[in-house]
Chains A and B, each alone.
Chain A
């Protein structure tokens, strides 16, 4: 149980285009999902917290108009990188917190590697 799936696993796009990444909880419902970004040889940095049915909360320094997050259901959150540029190339990872969690344990997706040319 507690499987989180991301799609796509990797994507290459041209500069200026938009890319959508999906994060799904496959066998549980998640009221809250978190989006992280990881640059090469660095740690994971929290970008935003996504709550089902409400606006996402972004960390300081993360542009909300560039990284659009939608959490329309208890099993799906999406991250859209708008007008992507080479500096947005990174590894994006989501995690989910189960509804009615008995612990605070978070489960992570496989990650999505974005390369912007």
Chain B
């Protein structure tokens, strides 16, 4: 099956810093989503981005499908950005997402 690798596994930032999280995948995809898992476990949808670039406030994401990677950018990080960020992909329409192991982000004030 398709493999998903996220890097770095852990990231520690000072408030206000910028960061880039990376997601590599082993096959072509028809779905790629980025999530933020909050301390209560809830998955917050950040982006649905199988290709192209999207922006939402301080967050943006880019997927280069031909090169099999996606990047999540967080600018001017805040303590509330702390948590685990997951990249998840599927390579067939209507099938389940396969999750990477996540990047744990800690933002301190």
A interface list, Cβ under 8 A from B? 32, 34, 36, 38, 42-46, 49, 91, 93, 95, 97, 101, 103-108, 110-111, 113
> Do A44 and B42 form a contact, CB below 8 Å, given A101-B94, A105-B31, A105-B48?
no
Which 8 pairs of residues, A with B, have the shortest CB-CB distance?
A104-B31, A105-B48, A108-B43, A34-B96, A44-B99, A111-B41, A43-B99, A43-B101
Distance in angstroms between the alpha carbons of A49 and B92 in the assembled complex:
14
A104 near B101: Cβ-Cβ < 8 Å: no
Identify which of B31, B50, B94, B100 contacts A32 (C-beta below 8 A).
B94
Nearest-neighbour CB distance to chain A for B89, whole angstroms, equals 10
> Do A91 and B102 form a contact, CB below 8 Å, given A34-B96, A103-B31?
no
A110 near B42: Cβ-Cβ < 8 Å: yes
B94 near A46: Cβ-Cβ < 8 Å: no
In the complex, chain B residues 1-50 whose Cβ is within 8 Å of any chain A Cβ: 30-31, 33, 35, 40-43, 45, 48, 50
Identify which of A38, A103, A104 contacts B41 (C-beta below 8 A).
A38
> How many B residues face the partner with a CB closer than 8 A?
24
B41 near A91: Cβ-Cβ < 8 Å: yes
Q: Which residues of A contact B43 (CB under 8 A)?
A: 93, 108, 111
Query: Which partner residue on chain B sits nearest A106 by CB separation?
Result: B97
**What are 12 residue pairs bridging A and B, where the CB atoms are less than 8 Å apart in the complex?**
A32-B94, A44-B88, A46-B98, A95-B96, A97-B94, A101-B94, A103-B48, A104-B31, A104-B95, A105-B45, A108-B45, A111-B40
Is B82 interfacial (CB-CB < 8 Å)?
A: no
Given contacts A101-B94, A110-B40, A111-B43, 19 further A-B contacts (CB under 8 A): A32-B94, A34-B97, A43-B99, A46-B96, A46-B97, A46-B98, A49-B96, A93-B41, A93-B43, A97-B94, A104-B31, A105-B33, A105-B48, A106-B31, A107-B45, A108-B43, A108-B45, A111-B42, A113-B41
In the complex, chain B residues 64-109 whose Cβ is within 8 Å of any chain A Cβ: 86, 88, 90, 93-102
Q: Which residues of A contact B50 (CB under 8 A)?
A: 104
Of B48, B96, B97, B99, most A-chain CB atoms within 10 Å: B96
